[in-house]
Structure 1
């Protein structure tokens, strides 16, 4: 089994946090989004993952080494490919053409999920979906009476279905997928100006491939700051249900209260403060004389004499005396 992870997007809706790191490396409960995604897929695969291929922009050597380590953490080889132009989902996947063989999962790195199942590798193809109130921003599927997928529609302007594709796909035959993606590019077949995976899926279906929907217990989006903070909240709840230890032994609490679930990283210092619920504090964060709830505070950040909630505070950032809902990027300082 292989996992293919397209993650070359610029993450504009997550600025300022994506000005210094790619969106999939933003932490959720102490681990990058993409690491959580790879680990969760590895758990439901039901077999050993042999390779994780990441399709990225030119993010630099440090990022690439981090991604290879994520692959190695699930016992797999890590491969790096580049998408230098944003030409659509089909183009992004095809950038990893050398790795498109055998059974594989394609997972776009801006979503997490909660699931309690093992992947059925006997299916020709599985498309994970979730019912949504507004399907217009998503690709959607239509089903027949037998529960099989009959149509794929990319970002419908009129209602055709409310079953949104969440960005996770299983293909029994990666070589077949590669050939269908290549067909789109060779024949300049685009939808809304881009090469779309849904067009390849439609062609495969028309040739007799049976696709079935997969369902997840919960779909967690990481598309913008508020969504990412909410995903952090839900993921902390999920990890608590699994009984995971979320507080580092090297953290120091002085005259402070911690309200679980929270993630507290290595060498964090909390003094005269209340932290939680639903807070993630990255390694070496420092919280003093403050109340922090429902927030992500990244590595080496300082929160002093303030009250913050529904916030993201970047690496090495400093917040002092500003009681707000914040989105503060790396190395920034905000004080009153």
Structure 2
């Protein structure tokens, strides 16, 4: 059995986080999205093929010293077209997976079948491809129906025979101008007896707030391990990983689950709360970080608060700056994505800040706002709108 992981998309709904990083390489709970899935399947597949396109060089570098094969989708023409790029390497049953969703251990059951699709229950099935089943077999798939036949949704994980790759050749361009893999799935269902694998362990990573949710859930599986330097006055509670080369200075408190990667410096007097990941060479001084991801080289050095947020690489948070994470009316936080204001479903949600961004001193960022790649915010500002990449927020507006 081989595996094909689709990882070629630009991840536009995840911007600004994908301005400098392909979505499958965005870290969740300390490792890239795609690595979670590879760890799940590597012991029962013979070969892993990753179909890449956007920022393919980064994906090639990531897998450089591994047996993973990289295949390029030169033009973004849809998921069917992406999967088709691996056809010449397919000669047996093949597990096809999305590279930007995280699957749980129950997905491993799929290997026990001849051919099968995985699905999960959703409260909003109309937003997905919906599966109709009879006696544990998939009978149809309908993309985003107004009246869903069930609440079982397609989660982008399929075990198929080589014939499926022939069907991909017959897919016609959709109204969106792309070759959709669901069209090939419909043809395949008509020919094969496809078993259903239902799972509760599915973490979609399509929108920025889902990265916070996925990170929080996966952090529950940590095992306490302290290999770095921890000052005798620091307090470490719960399931905390402090890697060799990390430093926790005087009077700091770290509450698990938390991960402090090699090269990170914490404190003095820092307060790191549950759900937090500090990547390599992150600096946190006398500040509070809660349920947040701070990527490489970012800094929150002085008297600041970062909560329920995701920060890219080399972000600098000025002294006294804060990410607000709770609305005054206690309603769920909304976030604008590609011009549409969407309900995150989260009562607490802070900021999403792209790499290279700079936040001025004594600034507050309202819940659910995005600060773009290489954007900046002046000092003593209240950020009430998204700040586009490369732009500046000053005097209450974008300049």
* Moved beyond 6 Å, runs of 4+: none
Give the TM-score of the pair, scaled to structure 2: 0.72
Contact 2:131–2:152 (CA<8 Å) still a contact in 1? yes
Paired residue secondary structure (1:233) = helix
Contact 1:68–1:79 (CA<8 Å) still a contact in 2? no
| Cα 1:95/1:278, change in 2 over 3 Å | same
Contact 2:23–2:100 (CA<8 Å) still a contact in 1? yes
Give the TM-score of the pair, scaled to structure 1: 0.85
Choose 129-138 or 115-124, whichever is displaced more.
Answer: 115-124
Give the C-alpha shift of residue 219 in structure 1: 1.3
Aligned residue-pair number: 313
Q: Please list the CA deviations of residues 224-264 of structure 1 after superposition, one character each: whole Å capped at 9, or x if unmatched.
A: 333223222222323x4xxxx55352x11112222333333
**Is 1:300 the equivalent of 2:281?**
yes
Give the C-alpha shift of residue 200 in structure 1: 0.7
**Is 1:252 the equivalent of 2:229?**
yes
Contact 1:37–1:112 (CA<8 Å) still a contact in 2? yes
CA distance in 2 between counterparts of 1:248 and 1:2 reads 37
| Aligned equivalent of 2:143 | 154
Give the C-alpha shift of residue 38 in structure 1: 0.8
Contact 1:147–1:212 (CA<8 Å) still a contact in 2? yes
CA distance in 2 between counterparts of 1:290 and 1:335 reads 15
| Aligned equivalent of 1:323 | 305
Q: Please list the CA deviations of residues 157-200 of structure 1 after superposition, one character each: whole Å capped at 9, or x if unmatched.
A: 333321111121111x2x2111000111xxx3425432211111
Contact 1:53–1:96 (CA<8 Å) still a contact in 2? yes
CA distance in 1 between counterparts of 2:136 and 2:19 reads 43
| Aligned equivalent of 2:331 | none
Paired residue secondary structure (2:116) = strand
2:60 to 61, 64, 67: 64
Contact 1:30–1:263 (CA<8 Å) still a contact in 2? no
| Cα 1:281/1:82, change in 2 over 3 Å | same
Larger Rg: 2
Q: Please list the CA deviations of residues 85-132 of structure 1 after superposition, one character each: whole Å capped at 9, or x if unmatched.
A: 332211111122222331111111122222347535463421111101
Paired residue secondary structure (2:76) = coil
Matches within 5 A, 1:11-22: 11-22=11-22
| Aligned equivalent of 1:333 | 316
Q: Please list the CA deviations of residues 114-160 of structure 1 after superposition, one character each: whole Å capped at 9, or x if unmatched.
A: 2347535463421111101011332120111x121111012223333
| Cα 1:137/1:114, change in 2 over 3 Å | same
Choose 97-106 or 263-272, whichever is displaced more.
Answer: 263-272
CA distance in 2 between counterparts of 1:191 and 1:282 reads 45
CA distance in 2 between counterparts of 1:230 and 1:281 reads 19
1:85 to 64, 67, 75: 75
| Cα 1:120/1:113, change in 2 over 3 Å | closer
**Structure 1: runs of 5 or more not aligned:** none
**Is 1:36 the equivalent of 2:36?**
yes
CA distance in 1 between counterparts of 2:61 and 2:127 reads 33
**Is 1:210 the equivalent of 2:193?**
yes
Paired residue secondary structure (2:109) = coil
CA distance in 2 between counterparts of 1:38 and 1:291 reads 33
Query: By percentage of residues, which structure has more helix?
Result: 1
| Cα 1:124/1:227, change in 2 over 3 Å | same
CA distance in 1 between counterparts of 2:13 and 2:259 reads 21
**Is 1:97 the equivalent of 2:87?**
yes
Contact 1:136–1:155 (CA<8 Å) still a contact in 2? yes
Paired residue secondary structure (1:18) = coil
| Cα 1:50/1:19, change in 2 over 3 Å | same
Matches within 5 A, 1:109-258: 109-116=99-106, 118-119=108-109, 121=111, 123-144=113-134, 146-171=135-160, 173=161, 175-184=162-171, 188-190=172-174, 192-207=176-191, 209-238=192-221, 240=222, 245=223, 247=225, 249=227, 251-254=228-231, 255-258=233-236
CA distance in 2 between counterparts of 1:31 and 1:285 reads 16
Paired residue secondary structure (1:165) = strand
CA distance in 1 between counterparts of 2:81 and 2:243 reads 38
| Cα 1:286/1:126, change in 2 over 3 Å | same
